[in-house]
Amino acid sequence: MSKMKTHKGAKKRFKVSGSGKITRRSKNLNHFLEKKTSRRKRRLSGRTEISSTDAPRVKQMLSS
């Protein structure tokens, strides 16, 4: 049986931290940026942890 392959879409979207948490990019930072305040855009610029319900599926997609 062949090896499981990494899901390439998930590989590009998620990163695993040193402690094993999975992080993702914040939403709402792609377009209509003129009407959003600088403070809001700064707060969205970082990475956030994914929800605990999504974590097992993402971990399975990232396991290679």
Domain assignment present for 23: yes
For the segment 5-46, what is each residue's pLDDT rounded down to a tens digit? 999 999 999 999 999 999 999 999 999 999 999 999 999 999
Domain assignment present for 56: yes
At 23 the three-state DSSP class reads strand
Q: How far apart are CA 11 and CA 17, in angstroms?
A: 13
Domain enclosing residue 13, as ranges? 8-62
Q: Specify whether the backbone of 59 is left (phi greater than 0), alpha (psi in -120 to 50) or beta.
A: alpha
Domain assignment present for 29: yes
Q: What CATH number does residue 32 fall under?
A: 4.10.410.60
Q: For the chain, report the end-to-end CA distance as a whole number of angstroms.
A: 14
Query: Please, which residues bridge with residue 49 across strands?
Result: 23
Domain assignment present for 49: yes
Task: Report the relative pairing of strands 22-25 and 47-49 from DSSP bridges.
Answer: antiparallel
pLDDT of residue 35: 97
The tally of domains found in the chain comes to 1
For the segment 47-58, what is each residue's pLDDT rounded down to a tens digit? 999 999 999 999
Domain assignment present for 3: no
